[in-house]
Amino acid sequence: MVLISLPAFREIGVDNDSLSYSEIFKSTNNYSIGQIISGNYESNIERGFMLLNKLVDVFGGDFNSVLFIVALLTGLLNYTIIYKICRFPFTALLIYLSFFLFVQRLYADTIWAKLFNCLLGYLFLYQEEILCICF
């Protein structure tokens, strides 16, 4: 829960990309929900992320609320998959958390998403025994 709540309480601009995401949040004031769903906006931002920002704004939340929601969704997804798939979930969770502070200094959201996709790809290849054939 601590790792999930960290993004909601940190200062904007501490990391590398929160200022850019904050500008995206502010830009949603210029568009309606219909424009965002149809993709009728100027920026090259994913519709789902724009829609999340707009919905949080409509319901009175701020940018830290967006950070909390994203951290909650990714955290729950990561921790659930770790506990369901890994034979040694505590060890996998320890490895995941030990790199958290290191990766947080980098582009945390992007790096974690890529690492997580690599992990899922590895697990798929391992379970389908494709890795056993290749190596």
Nearest in space to 28 (alpha carbons), one of 10, 41, 13, 16: 41
Q: Give the C-alpha distances (Å, rounded to integers) separating 55 from 50, 60, 62, 69.
A: 9, 9, 10, 11
Q: What is the pLDDT along the chain (135 residues), one digit of tens a residue?
A: 776 777 777 788 877 778 888 898 999 988 898 888 888 888 788 888 899 999 999 999 988 888 888 888 888 888 888 888 888 888 888 877 777 666 665 555 666 677 777 777 777 777 766 555 444
Question: Phi then psi for 16, rounded to 5 degrees?
Answer: -75, -30
**What does the alpha-carbon distance between residue 62 and residue 26 come to, in Å, rounded to a whole number?**
9
Cα gap 92→5, rounded to integer Å:
21
Model pTM above 0.85: no
Task: Find out whether 99 and 116 touch, Cβ atoms under 8 Å.
Answer: no
Distance from C-alpha of 88 to C-alpha of 9, rounded to nearest angstrom: 31
Cα–Cα dist 129/135, whole Å: 10
